[in-house]
Amino acid sequence: MLAFVVIMLVGTAGYWEVSAGKATLLDCAYMTFITIATIGYGEVIDLSASPGGRVFTMVIGFLGVANVFYMTSKMTAFIVESDLNEGLRRHRMQREIETLAGHYIVCGIGRVGTNVLRELVATGRECVVIEPAQPSLEAMLESYPKQRYLHGDGADDELLRAAGVQRAAGVFAVTGDDSKNLVITLSAKQLNPGARVVARCHDVRFVDKIRQVGADDIVSPDFTGALRIASSMLRPAVVSLLDEMLRSDQGLRVEEIGLPPTGKERKIAELAPPDTDYVVLAVRRDGRWEFNPGAELRAKPGSTLIVMTTPAGRAKLERLVAA
């Protein structure tokens, strides 16, 4: 663009000189423009008696055409490259999603969905985000530039399939619309009955409906927020501990580790030998809780260990339990 402006200025000054000051500046600029643009109108400034003027016109024409061609090629390359890069990025992301299994799908990346994503990332869980609003996706990518996502409606069966719902461990229906969360829950359960679905719900009238279509758990931000406020007053030390855990850079969390449904009874010492990355808090077996279990306590197949652990500790326990 700067080169175009320079050519216009040089051409205007040149034609002013060729016309010996008889032509107006507008005529000189117009003559330069039609020469550069190869429009082909007649000469506004008479060059029949000025061989030098015609040579000057050929030079201006050559430089102008070259500049216009260069600008056009750069603009075309920019457009094509942008579309190509976007297409390649989406194709690469889709291939990555196709390799996922046991991951989580977050439908809706508003305030609640963003906090869900933060927790999944902090604890090392693979996930895919589905969101129809492009600005929300762009805001997410500012904080999580490598996050896998799909642009569209989470209630769309095809989009859920593209996100790998058949292989997913769970689906979060956390849009701001209760009716849409109901449809997402229904679609996810139809496509993968084994996936755990947790739905967000504001209106109590939707709670039973969402539960009837298959939600494993329903969370009301208003209700849980009220409990959090009450706990801050009644149990401040406990709340402080939980808050510290959630803010920890090491991703320290209270997690549950499920034992395989088949196999033999195994001692806690075998399932979770002493380690600095985790602490066993309780065992759920035969429908009862065993708090602070001893090393000799035997856990039956299908039991659940409740542990305070880091992501690395959770990975160790999962390997030990599966062994």
β partners of residue 119: none
Q: Are residues 126 and 214 in the same domain?
A: yes
- Helices 2-18, 25-36: inter-axial angle, 10-degree rounding: 120
In angstroms, the CA 290 to CA 271 distance is 15
Give which of 65, 50, 62 is closest to 15, Cα–Cα. 50
Q: Are residues 18 and 131 in the same domain?
A: no
Amino acid at 29: A
Q: Are residues 170 and 106 in the same domain?
A: yes
Give which of 300, 305, 318, 302 is closest to 264, Cα–Cα. 300
Measured CA to CA in angstroms, residue 94 lies from 11, 77, 88, 99 at distances of 53, 25, 10, 9
* Per-residue pLDDT reduced to its tens digit, 42-94: 666 766 667 777 677 777 777 777 777 777 777 776 666 555 566 677 788 88
Give which of 194, 200, 218, 198 is closest to 102, Cα–Cα. 194
The number of residues making up the chain comes to 323
* Number of independent structural domains in the chain: 3
Name the domain boundary from 71, 93, 115: 93
CATH number of the domain residue 315 falls in: 3.30.70.1450
User: pTM for the complete prediction?
Assistant: 0.63
Query: Exposure of 88 by Cβ count < 10 A (0-12 exposed, 13-18 middle, 19+ buried)?
Result: exposed
Measured CA to CA in angstroms, residue 217 lies from 117, 198, 210 at distances of 18, 5, 9
Q: Give domain status of residue 240, yes or no.
A: no
Q: Give domain status of residue 10, yes or no.
A: yes
Q: Are residues 167 and 151 in the same domain?
A: yes
Determine the structural domain holding residue 60 and report its residue range: 2-93
CATH number of the domain residue 76 falls in: 1.10.287.70
pLDDT given at position 15 = 73
The token pair at 93 is 């992301």
3-state DSSP call for residue 188? helix
> Are 198 and 219 a contacting pair, CB within 8 Å?
yes
Q: Could you write out the DSSP letters of every residue in 92-141?
A: HHHHHHHT--S-EEEE--SHHHHHHHHHHHHTT--EEEEES-HHHHHHHH
pLDDT in tens, the chain (323 residues): 677 777 778 877 877 777 767 777 777 787 777 777 777 666 667 666 677 776 777 777 777 777 777 777 777 766 665 555 666 777 888 899 999 999 999 999 999 999 999 989 988 899 999 999 999 999 999 999 989 999 999 999 999 999 999 999 999 999 999 999 999 999 999 999 999 999 999 888 888 999 999 999 999 888 888 888 898 898 888 888 777 776 665 667 888 898 988 888 899 999 999 988 899 999 998 888 989 998 899 898 989 999 988 888 988 999 998 87
Q: Give domain status of residue 230, yes or no.
A: no
The token pair at 208 is 């039973």
Q: Give domain status of residue 12, yes or no.
A: yes
pLDDT given at position 206 = 87
Q: Give domain status of residue 245, yes or no.
A: no
Q: Give domain status of residue 206, yes or no.
A: yes
Q: Are residues 132 and 219 in the same domain?
A: yes
Name the domain boundary from 93, 116, 131: 93
List the beta strands (DSSP E) in the chain: 104-107, 127-131, 149-151, 170-173, 196-200, 217-219, 253-258, 266-267, 278-285, 288-291, 298-299, 304-309
